[in-house]
Structure formats: C-alpha cells, structure tokens
Amino acid sequence: MKRFIFLSLGVLSTILPTIILIMMGRSVGDIILITMTTYMVYVLVSILMVLIWVFVSNGNLPDVGDDIPSFFWFLTLGRKKVYYSDLGYFYVSIKGYNVSVHKQGFLLSHYLFEVWYDGDIELLRSSIKRELDSLYAKELAEARSKKLKGDNLKAWDGYIDIVSKRDDKIKRLLK
C-alpha cells in the first residue's frame, strides 16, 4: 500500500501541474517555464523532506542521493520487491555487483544498506537477511517476544493453581 501511495503521489505531482496549465489555455512557453519552476520547488521540498526524515530518525546528516522522495518516483521503478516474514516488504535495486536495499514509505523511499552480489542467489538472500536482522534486531526481538507471550497464553488451560485443576478433573470424571 505504501508503494502504491508513493507512486500515485509521484505521478500526480508530475503530471498535474502540466494538465492544469493546458486546461487554463497557457502558451507552450508558459507551460515549460512553470513546469520547470515546479520541479525546482520539488527539489527544494525533497531536500527538506530528506533532512527532516534523517533528523527525526537518527540525527545524522544524510547521504541525500540514497533517499528518494515521491516527486522522483521514476527513479524507483526498476526495483524488485522482496519479502521478509517478520518485517514485511523491502525493495532492492541492482547496480553491477551491488544490491541496494530500500524501505518504502508513503513520501520517501529510504536507503538502508548495500550488499555484494556475485551471482549466488542463496548468498544474496542470507546477506540481506543478516543485514536486516542486525538493523532491526530490537523490533524483531519485540515481535518474537509478543508472539511467544500470545502462544503461551493460548496454551494456558485457565487454572490458577493445581488444586482447582485437580478438583475440576475429578468432577468431570465423576459425571
């Protein structure tokens, strides 16, 4: 769903200004000028979005080239979707021997890490899983703990002490 919203916002932000200008009956020169100005504003807004994302998330200065706002949706089209059962979907892009892993947001596609790919898919899978496990160790531990608690609660027979459990079994046998 995040990917759909990301791409929809990107496509709308790309074509909507041009469509509005055409409907208003502007000249070709005005359409080109206003469209270029709109993209320059998108670049400035994108830089602000990335800076806000990074300052809110971990407080380090970003490598802006790796985080892609929805305005530049076309840069994310060649990515492959991968699924990790405990964390959900991620997107990978392949550039030569490097595979970049990205987390999709509603307004931003955030770069996570890069792994080396030499042609062995099993090695690539294990490398991505290992990196995701180390990156999301806290979230994974919390999710597994919550699942274990839920499973333990479902397995509980409902008796608080041994005496009541024994008495109930005796009552069932006598009936």
Q: What region, left, alpha or beta, does residue 109 occupy, with left being phi > 0 and alpha being psi -120 to 50 degrees?
A: beta
- Measured distance between the N- and C-terminal CA atoms of the chain, rounded to whole angstroms: 55
Residues in the chain: 175
Splitting the chain (175 residues) into consecutive groups of 10 residues, what average pLDDT does each group show?
81 80 81 82 78 68 60 78 86 88 83 86 89 85 82 78 77 77
48 and 105 fall within a common domain? yes
Q: How far is Cα 10 from Cα 46, in angstroms, rounded to an integer? A: 12
Is 127 in the same domain as 148? Answer: no
pLDDT of residue 58: 63
The pTM (predicted TM-score) of the whole model is 0.60
> Does residue 147 share a domain with residue 113?
no
Which pLDDT score, from 0 to 100, does residue 135 have?
85
Quote helix, strand, coil % in the chain, to nearest 5: 60, 20, 20
- The per-residue pLDDT for 62 is 47
Record the tokens describing residue 171, joined without a space: 């009552």
Assess whether 99 and 23 both reside in one domain.
yes
Q: How far apart are CA 107 and CA 71, in angstroms?
A: 8
Range of the domain at 116: 2-135
Structural domain total, the chain: 2
